[in-house]
Amino acid sequence: MTTKSNIIEKTNSISQVRYACSIGSLYTAAAIPGVIPITHCGPGCADKQFMGLAFYNGFQGGGYGGGAVSPSVNATEKEVVFGGTERLRELIKASLKIMDADLFVVLTGCIADLVGDDVPSVVSEFQEQGVNIVYAETGGFRGNNFTGHELVTKSIIDQFVGDYNGKKDSHTVNVWSLLPYQNPFWRGDLSEIKRILEGVGLKVNILFGHHSKGIEEWKNLPKAGFNLVLSPWLGLRTAQYLEKKYNQPFLHVPVIPVGAKETSRFLREISDYAGLDKEKTEAFIRSEEKEYYYYLEHFADFYSEYWWGLPAQFAVVGDSAYNLAMTKFLVNQLGLIPSRQIITENTPDEYKDFIREQYKHIAEDVSVGVDFVEDGYIVGKLLEETDFGHKSPIIFATTWDRDIAKKLNGHIVEIGFPASYEVVISRSYIGYRGALSLLEKVFTTTIGKSA
């Protein structure tokens, strides 16, 4: 099924923005255990990133290094006129005295980048003293937090991990996937990714979240046999850079697996690529599928008896990673009809054709069009003009889209930034286990609305 719209247009402003600015990548740093970001920016910048990404987005919390913990220069007119390097130097010294971190990451905001503060020279002073500290220039005009994410990872690789020419372990993988905090379910999702990869025999550097070993994993990053990019595009530049820097190959899997069918296919692809024991891989898949289909068998009573009250068509609004993964799962596992797919993260132009191609092959007999839209006003108009048939649709989207879902008499499941009506602790929506949680959420939402 393909969709076409004649209302997508270029605007000079964006309403209901669905990402943070580049310095929002301070939560890339904070997502690494033991790492504390230091922001060289104006007053309020870091707090706005916290409120947007880590609070009113699943209420995830700032953790060890984010939220109210992160030191900030809080630049004033004085730093704009005379420069803020001395203030930054003082802040780093004070942070070293009172904060316990395995690594500090200095991130610049618009003020520092516009006035030309020499942040590299300040940070290098501390690096020469043996302090674990790096910097990344992440002024807002450089892009959004997706852009900032890869700026931060590259800075850590270059300034902290450094060069390596030693041996590699072919059965160890570095995983580059969901953007921490931007996706409110990133913690649970990365845990599930690590679990299933270890289940087929891989050693996994998951790099972010509770199951990461922090800077120890990052130091061992060059020793991995390969990199796995598990997303439509985010992480590709990093993997390509690592290929040049460490002669480290990478495997790109654009569809994050949701449900047994896609997850088993994914694990077989990984197993073949890494040369793993096929017997062990198949044994793990059998075990996981047995449990998955046990629960699905019992769910089938509800699904078959309640079919008259369930939605038949759906739309997905959000980041390309979840958008593609959800669409594939809902079509292939549940047989729902995709009516509108909208990607909102300002995907770089160089990846758009590749992503469009993925939607052409959602299933053997299903081809779906996709819109790349950042403006919430246009998102609403696209949803309004979509023909969802005579049943109430289900909209997988964000808090911004609740009003339009109500107008369409639809059901809404918040799956992306901002998710202000979801409290997310460790929930996952991917893999074997996450798919079951997703089914629970979807159908609790649909029957709850009719109560």
pLDDT in tens, 88-124: 999 999 999 999 999 999 999 998 888 899 999 999 9
End-to-end CA distance of the chain: 32
The pLDDT value given to residue 78: 81
Angle at 250 between CA 254 and CA 285, to 5 degrees: 60
Residue 178 sits in the same domain as residue 311 = no
Residue 183 sits in the same domain as residue 133 = no
Print the domain residue range for 100: 22-143
pTM of the model: 0.94
Domain total of the chain = 3
The pLDDT value given to residue 6: 52
In a domain, 158, yes or no: no
Final residue before a domain boundary, out of 278, 293, 316? 278
Average pLDDT over the chain, rounded to whole? 94
CB 366 within 8 A of CB 358: no
Residue 82 sits in the same domain as residue 126 = yes
Residue 368 sits in the same domain as residue 436 = yes
- Ranges under pLDDT 70 in the chain: 1-12, 308, 449-451
User: Could you please report the per-residue DSSP string of 217-268?
Assistant: HHHTGGGEEEEEEESSSTTHHHHHHHHHHH---EEEE-S--BSHHHHHHHHH
Q: Is the peptide bond before 418 cis (omega within 30 degrees of 0)?
A: yes
Residue 262 sits in the same domain as residue 341 = no
Where do we find the tokens 């372990």? 169
3-state secondary structure of 135: strand
In a domain, 148, yes or no: no
In a domain, 291, yes or no: no
pLDDT digits 0-9 by tens, 47-99: 999 999 999 999 999 999 999 899 999 888 887 877 789 999 999 999 999 99
Q: How many helices (H) and strands (E) does the chain have?
A: 17, 12
Residue 129 sits in the same domain as residue 203 = no
Nearest to 178 by CA among 249, 116, 107, 253: 253
The pLDDT value given to residue 373: 97
CATH of the domain at 319: 3.40.50.1980
Residue 134 sits in the same domain as residue 193 = no
In a domain, 12, yes or no: no
Residue 124 sits in the same domain as residue 26 = yes
In a domain, 157, yes or no: no
The pLDDT value given to residue 3: 45
How many CB atoms within 10 Å of residue 81? 9
Q: What are the distances in angstroms from CA 384 to CA 311, 377, 388, 401, 409?
A: 17, 11, 10, 11, 11
Residue 376 sits in the same domain as residue 312 = yes
Final residue before a domain boundary, out of 278, 293, 326? 278
How many percent of the chain have pLDDT more than 90? 87
How many percent of the chain have pLDDT more than 70? 96
338: part of which helix (H) or strand (E)? strand 337-343
The tokens of 316 are what?
Answer: 């997905």
Residue 323 sits in the same domain as residue 416 = yes
The pLDDT value given to residue 305: 85
CB 398 within 8 A of CB 17: no
In a domain, 153, yes or no: no
Pairing mode of beta strands 313-318, 203-205: unpaired
Final residue before a domain boundary, out of 244, 278, 312? 278
In a domain, 383, yes or no: yes
Nearest to 324 by CA among 224, 389, 230, 391: 230
In a domain, 234, yes or no: yes
Residue 121 sits in the same domain as residue 35 = yes
Residue 202 sits in the same domain as residue 309 = no
